[in-house]
């Protein structure tokens, strides 16, 4: 297979006091790359990605050297049929945005701003959609002591969220648990309803006796 550099889009948020609001949105557009074929190595200062597309019959590959350090342990990932989405936690708490994503100031043809997620620095406090977006993400557990992320088991992520990017099974399990609890409550209430309905029936059964007396 021939090798191609995938399109990479990015946006960011920043905070000097709250680590969970200090991150980079990063999307690697790589169509139809099975989880079993994904090779992703995330380190504090860099990311390396490689994956083969089953429909395009090409291999995507890209290496990124970040402008500043990120925390792989606190970063998140979401794999779909269309792309690999990541939320990279910036290591340094700082109010100012990174001036760029990469250490090298050279313009990269494959790197673009994600305008769907981009918010100006002075308007980011009004952004309310980030939490919903990140709720579908999976934690990047399994990183080595040096921050490397080469040990990720994408097959488990694929089983958890599916090729179409469904929520993980933890969320689905919680939803199922709520449904079961609701059904049990309804079942417990049913006998009381039956007793209430039985009273009119009992009253009607006494009517023939009144007619006999008459």
Query: What is 2-167's CATH topology?
Result: Immunoglobulin-like (2.60.40)
pTM across the whole model: 0.66
In this prediction, residues 28-56 reach a mean pLDDT of 96
Instruction: Considering only residues 47 and 135, tell me which one the structure prediction assigns the higher pLDDT.
Output: 47
Q: Please report, for the chain, the start and end positions of each structural domain, with discontinuous segments joined by +.
A: 2-167, 171-213
Residue 141 — pLDDT band, cuts 50, 70, 90?
low
Residue 136 — pLDDT band, cuts 50, 70, 90?
confident
Q: In percent, how much of the chain has pLDDT > 90?
A: 53
Supply the pLDDT for residue 126: 66
DSSP 197: H
Supply the pLDDT for residue 123: 84
Instruction: Considering only residues 163 and 192, tell me which one the structure prediction assigns the higher pLDDT.
Output: 192
- How many CA atoms, within 13 angstroms, populate the side-chain half-sphere of residue 58? 10
In this prediction, residues 178-190 reach a mean pLDDT of 44
Going along 91-177, which residue ranges are E strands?
111-113, 138-139
Supply the pLDDT for residue 133: 73
In this prediction, residues 166-185 reach a mean pLDDT of 41
The Cα–Cα gap between 200 and 193 comes to: 12
Supply the pLDDT for residue 185: 46
Supply the pLDDT for residue 32: 96
**What's the CA dihedral at 173, 129, 19, 73 to 10 degrees?**
40
Per-residue pLDDT tens over the stretch 71-80: 999 999 999 9
């Amino acid at each position: 297979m021939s090798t191609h550099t995938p399109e990479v889009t990015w946006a960011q948020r920043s905070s000097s006091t709250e680590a969970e609001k200090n991150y980079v949105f990063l999307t690697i557009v790589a169509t139809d790359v099975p989880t079993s074929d994904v090779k992703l190595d995330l380190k504090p200062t860099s990311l390396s990605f490689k994956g083969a597309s089953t429909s395009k019959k090409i291999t995507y590959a890209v290496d990124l050297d970040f402008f500043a350090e990120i925390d792989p342990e606190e970063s998140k990932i979401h794999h779909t049929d269309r792309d690999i989405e990541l939320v990279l936690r910036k290591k340094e708490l700082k109010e100012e945005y990174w001036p760029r994503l990469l250490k090298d100031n050279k313009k990269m043809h494959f790197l673009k701003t994600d305008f769907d997620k981009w918010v100006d620095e002075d308007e980011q406090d009004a952004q309310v959609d980030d939490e919903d977006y990140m709720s579908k993400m999976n934690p990047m557990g399994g990183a080595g002591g040096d921050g490397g992320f080469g040990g990720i088991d994408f097959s488990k992520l694929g089983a958890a969220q599916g090729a179409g990017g469904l929520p993980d099974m933890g969320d689905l399990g919680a939803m199922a648990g709520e449904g079961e609890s609701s059904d049990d409550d309804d079942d417990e209430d049913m006998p009381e309803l039956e007793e209430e309905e039985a009273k009119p029936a009992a009253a009607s059964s006494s009517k023939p006796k009144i007619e006999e007396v008459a």
